[in-house]
Structure 1
C-alpha cells in the first residue's frame, strides 16, 4: 500500500511539473507575442496641452514665463549676467546677447528666457541645464556645444547650427527649429512635440527614445539618423530624406510619408497604423515584424523588404 501511494504521488508530481512547464511556455509565448513597441508605448499618444510656436502664443503667457522669478537650488537669487563675463547660473533675461563671441564659454544652468541671442558664436561651449524658453537664438552657432538637459520650449532656433552638439534630455516642445543644422547631433530622449522642424538637416543624428508627436519634418534631411524607440505619431515627413534611417520599434500612428525617400530605411518592429506612404520611394526598405502595415503596402513586401518600388496607390492625399 505504501509503495502504491509513493508511485501515485510520483505520478501526480510529474503531472504537476508538466502542467507548470506548459503554463510557463504559454505565458512566455504571450509575453513574446506582445510587440516591443506596445511595451514601450502602453498609452495613446498625448496631444493634450501642446505648446505652440512663439508666434501663436499670447503675450501674457510669454510675459508670465519670462518674468517668473526662479531661484537657485539653495534659494539664493541669481546674479545679473554680463555678456563680457558669462558665468554659471547667471540671469541673462534682459541682456542683449546678439552676435556675442562665446567660444568655449561655460554657462551651466544659465537663465536665457526671452533673451535676444541672435547670430551668436558659441562653438564648443557648455550650457547644460540652461533655460532658453522664448529665447531668440536664430542664426547662432552652437556646434560641438553641450546643451543637454536644457529647456527650449517655444524658443526660436531658426537656422541655428548644432552640428556635433549634445542636446540629450532637452525639452524642445513648440520650438521653431526651421532650417536647423544638426549633423551628427545627440538628441536622445528629447521632447519635440508640436515643434516645427521643416527644411532642417539632421544626417547621422541620434534621436533614440525621443518624443516627437505632431511635428512638421517636411523636406527635412535625416540620412543615416537613428530614430529608434520614438513616438512620432501624427508627424509629417512629406518629401523628407530618410535614406538609411532606423525607425526600429518606433510608434508612427497616422504619420505622413508622402513623397519621402525611404531607400534603406528600417521599420523593424514599428507601429505603422494609419501611415500614408503615397508616392514614397522604397529600395531595400525593411519592414520585418512591423505592425499595422497599410494594406496596399503590405502586398509589396517580399522577405520583409520592399525593393525598387514606389507606392502610388496609398491613402488619399
Structure 2
C-alpha cells in the first residue's frame, strides 16, 4: 500500500499511525488536521504554515521548520502519553503563536532566532542550539519569547545568551548551568526558578518577579540590571545592609 504524503494528509481531518519520510509541504499549508501516533523523518516544512492542528504522541526526526509559521497548534492535549518528541530538528527563524508544547522533548535541536508568542512549554525538556557557527565564526542568535509559559521547564546547561523572555511565566524552571548572559527577563515571573551555577552577566531582570529567586546560586553575576523596586530584595540576597546617613 502506498505511503500517504503530507499533501494528502493536509486534505484529511484525522491521520493516525502514518510514517512520513523525506516529504515536504512544497507550497501548501496544513490546517485543522489531527495527527495521532505519526512519525516525521527528514521532512521539510520550511517557509510553510501549519495552523489549528493537533499532534498526539508524534515523533519528529531530522525535520526542518526553518521560517515556518505554526499557529494555534496543539502538540499535547494534556495526557501523559500525548506529548511529542523532536530530535535534531531545525526551528531557525520559525514563528510559533498560541501553540501548546507542554511536556514535549526537544533533543539536539536548533532554534536560531526562534520566536514564540503566547505559547505553553510547561514541563518541557529543552535541548536547543540557539546560536550559529559558520566558517569558524560564532554568531549569537538567541530565542525571543513573549507571554509564554515555561512552568518547570528544563533548560539545564543551555547557552541562551542574548535571548529574550518578556512577560513570561518561568516559575520553577531549571536554568542550572545555563549561560544567561545578556538575557532579558523583563516583566517575567522567575519565582522558584533554579539558577545554580548559571552565568548572569548583563542579565536584565527589571520589573520581573524575583521574590523567590535565589540569586546567590549563580556562578557568575555581574552588571545585573534591575528596577528600583527590586533593589531591597537583591541587597537582602547578598546580606547587604544600607545604613541611613
Distance 1:110 1:274 in 2: 43
Secondary structure at the aligned position of 1:299 is classed as helix
Aligned to 2:46: 133
| CA–CA distance in structure 1, aligned partners of residues 177 and 164 of structure 2 | 18
Corresponding residue number in structure 2 for 1:172: 91
Name the larger-Rg structure. Answer: 1
Match of 2:221 among 292, 304, 310: 292
Q: Which runs of 4+ in 1 moved over 4 A?
A: 295-298
Kept in 2, the 8 Å contact 1:111–1:132? The answer is yes
Which residue does 1:186 correspond to in 2?
A: 105
Question: How many angstroms does 1:98 deviate by?
Answer: 4.5
What is the deviation of 1:232? 1.7
Q: Unpaired runs of 5+ in structure 2? A: 77-82, 132-140, 227-233, 240-245
Would the aligned equivalents of 1:114 and 1:133 in 2 still touch at CA under 8 Å? Answer: no
The CA distance in 1 between the partners of 2:126 and 2:205, in whole Å, is 22
Q: Describe the superposition over 1:233-266 as per-residue Cα deviations: whole angstroms up to 9, x where unpaired.
A: 2222111000100111212222111111111101
Q: C-alpha offsets along residues 147-199 of structure 1, whole Å, 9 cap, x if unaligned? A: 13211101111112112101122100011111111010011321112121011
1:150-299, aligned counterparts within 5 Å?
150-163=63-76, 164-211=83-130, 213-287=141-215, 288-295=217-224, 299=235
Q: Does the CA contact (< 8 Å) of 1:188 and 1:209 recur in 2? A: yes
Alpha-carbon spacing, 1:295–1:137, altered in 2? closer, same or farther (3 Å): closer
The 3 A distance-change label for structure 1 pair 291 and 99 is farther
| Residue pair 1:128, 1:148 contacting (<8 A) in 2 also | yes
TM-score normalised per structure 2: 0.79
User: Normalized per residue, which structure has more helix?
Assistant: 1
Looking at structure 1, the residues matched to 236 and 45 of structure 2 have their Cα atoms a distance apart, in angstroms, of 46
Contact 2:203/2:224 (<8 A) preserved: no
- SS class of match (2:166): coil
Aligned pair count reads 216
Q: Give RMSD over aligned pairs.
A: 2.4
Segment drifting more, 108-117 vs 264-273: 108-117
Structure 1: gaps (5+ residues)? 1-83, 304-317
- TM-score where L is the length of structure 1: 0.62
SS at match of 1:252: coil
The alpha-carbon deviation at position 279 of structure 1 amounts to 1.4
Q: What is the deviation of 1:115?
A: 2.8
SS in 1 for 2:145: coil
**SS of 2:107's equivalent?**
coil
Displacement, 1:114?
A: 3.0
